[in-house]
Amino acid sequence: MNLILDVSGAAEILLKKEKSKKFDKVLQEAKIVFAPDVYISELSNVFWKYTVIKNYNKNDCIKYIHDGLDYIDVFIDSRTIWEEAFSEAINNNHSVYDMFYMVAARRHAGTLVTNDSTLAAICKKNHVGVCC
């Protein structure tokens, strides 16, 4: 199975939150894991927030980022999907950032692993596979 992992799903695993075991199991069973390259900046930004707002140790957060990057087998160049993501953002009245993940899932006949319930609902509405 092809998976697309978004940052909310990755953070769930990395921080061992409520759905971490379920997400990790799905991730381990994947044939290949994709993410748009915006994943890198989003993941870095999440752990920047954990460092400055929640006082997590900087080195721990750097390790989380490295581990989160290692989850991805193939990064999709945003230049190849931005126009479709932009159109879907307009069609679904939702952020372009999230639509990169939906478009990636659709283009790679994959299932999106996300902890974002709004994004999951949009994917379902658009007949894009979503996990959890």
* Kind of pairing between the strands at 2-5 and 74-76: unpaired
- pLDDT recorded at residue 132: 76
* Domain carrying residue 10: 2-131
pLDDT tens string, the chain, 132 residues long: the values are 999 999 999 999 999 999 999 999 999 999 999 999 999 999 999 999 999 999 999 999 999 999 999 999 999 999 999 999 999 999 999 999 999 999 999 999 999 999 999 999 999 999 999 997
Question: Residue 53: which of 45, 42, 64, 62 has the closest Cα?
Answer: 45
- Structurally, the chain folds into a number of domains equal to 1
What confidence tens digit (pLDDT) does each residue in 53-87 have?
999 999 999 999 999 999 999 999 999 999 999 99
Q: Rounded distance, CA 45 to CA 41, Å?
A: 6
CATH label of the domain that carries residue 88: 3.40.50.1010
